[in-house]
Amino acid sequence: MLWLTAIFLCKIYASVGEIADIGTVPKGVNPTLYDSVEDSVIQLDETTFNDTVFCTGREDCSSYLVEFYSDWCGHCRSYAPVYKSFAKDIRGWNKVVKIAAMNCADPLNDVTCRANGILFFPYMKYFPRNSSDTFYGVKLRPYQSLAEMRDQLTQVILQDYAINRFDDWPNFDILGE
């Protein structure tokens, strides 16, 4: 009877899922390029990616910009300070978009990285609010300047807004004039 209870509790835990936020430590074994406490980058892993990015049914949904990287990649290591600064720079935009990263070098994350079609590093994807599949992710460029990153992200957010016009997002119509 005790083993039946254990199986039941495991099924409940598995169906609840996990949502990552600032401070979440990824469960993988590889080192990460971001500090879960000091950096404004949400660290994702296989157990948190879907429930965090594909936030169907939650009221606190936002869009996500996810950097897929590899901890051994020299380009990723040199890009990490730019991404950290960018995340800190737009921290005030978190009701609209959140900044996240996933280490594809970690074997735990292999399935999600392959499902997202990651072919090189760093690889950036914007997932519109209420995305339900990797298909909805829009590839972006990992620019080396904060201004170019902000401009690029602003453009995809405005496109998302033009299609969806979420009530709890700011009115971006003034920017289109």
Written in H, E and C, the secondary structure of 146-161 is: HHHHHHHHHHHHHHHH
Amino acid at 164: N
pLDDT in tens, 5-28: 333 333 333 445 799 999 999 999
Asked whether residue 69 is domain-assigned, the answer is yes
User: How many domains is the chain partitioned into structurally?
Assistant: 1
61: confidence class by pLDDT, cuts 50, 70, 90:
confident
Task: Clarify whether 73 is annotated catalytic.
Answer: yes
Q: Domain residues for 93?
A: 15-163
Whether 3 maps to a domain, the answer reads: no
| pLDDT higher at 40 or 166 | 40
pLDDT of 174: 75
Q: Catalytic annotation on 55? A: no
User: Quick check: is 176 in a domain?
Assistant: no
Do the domain assignments include residue 80? Answer: yes
Mind listing the pLDDT tens digit for each residue in 128-145? 998 999 999 999 999 999
- Asked whether residue 96 is assigned to any structural domain, the reply reads yes
Residue 7: its pLDDT value, please?
Answer: 39
CATH number at residue 67: 3.40.30.10
Q: What angle do CA 27, 20, 155 make, to 5 degrees?
A: 125
Regarding pTM above 0.85, the answer is: yes
Query: Is residue 2's pLDDT more than 50?
Result: no
Residue 174 in domain? no
pLDDT for residue 55: 79
CB 86 within 8 A of CB 99: yes
> Cis bond leading into 107, ω under 30°?
no
- From the candidates 55, 61, 73, 104, which is the catalytic residue? 73
What is the pLDDT averaged over residues 142-160? Answer: 96
On whether residue 132 sits in a domain, the answer given is: yes
Catalytic residue among 10, 55, 61, 76: 76
The residue-averaged pLDDT of 144-151 equals 97
Nearest alpha carbon to residue 127 among 117, 118, 119, 138: 138
pLDDT at position 176: 58
Does residue 168 form part of some domain? no
